[in-house]
Amino acid sequence: MMNGRRIENGGLVLFVFLITLLLGAVVSTFAVALLWSVLAAILFQPLYQRIHARFPERSNTAALLTKTGIRWRIWPPSAPCRRILARCHPVQRSTISL
């Protein structure tokens, strides 16, 4: 006769394994964006620390200014690449008829 406790533990392990697989499937679609976010956080940490030292009581303001700085340092230089990609891969617009 099987022990009931053993069946419960096996079911729990199976449940945790399935949840882990599903979570991995969801997170894997965002893997590239997550990696770029980590890279940006590492590269721009000194900028955040410098701004935060200037405004020690306003950490949200420092974060917003850092985000603005990241945007102004990354977005304009990428314009030529975006134009090339837009020509090579035009966006197809679709209409939804109800």
> What is the structure's pLDDT at 71?
84
Q: Cβ distance 52 to 62 under 8 Å?
A: yes
- C-alpha 10/C-alpha 26 separation (Å) is 25
Q: Is 89 exposed, middle or buried (0-12, 13-18, 19+ CB in 10 A)?
A: exposed
> What is the structure's pLDDT at 21?
94
Angle at Cα 54 formed by Cα 52 and Cα 59, nearest 5°? 30
pLDDT tens-digit profile, the chain (98 residues): 456 667 677 888 899 999 999 998 888 888 888 888 899 889 889 989 999 999 899 889 999 998 898 888 877 777 888 788 778 777 776 676 66
- The position carrying tokens 């939804």 is 96
Residue 92 backbone zone (phi > 0: left; psi -120 to 50: alpha; other: beta)? beta
> What is the structure's pLDDT at 98?
63
- C-alpha 27/C-alpha 63 separation (Å) is 25
Domain ranges (residues) in the chain: 8-33, 44-79
- The position carrying tokens 């134009």 is 83
> What is the structure's pLDDT at 19?
95
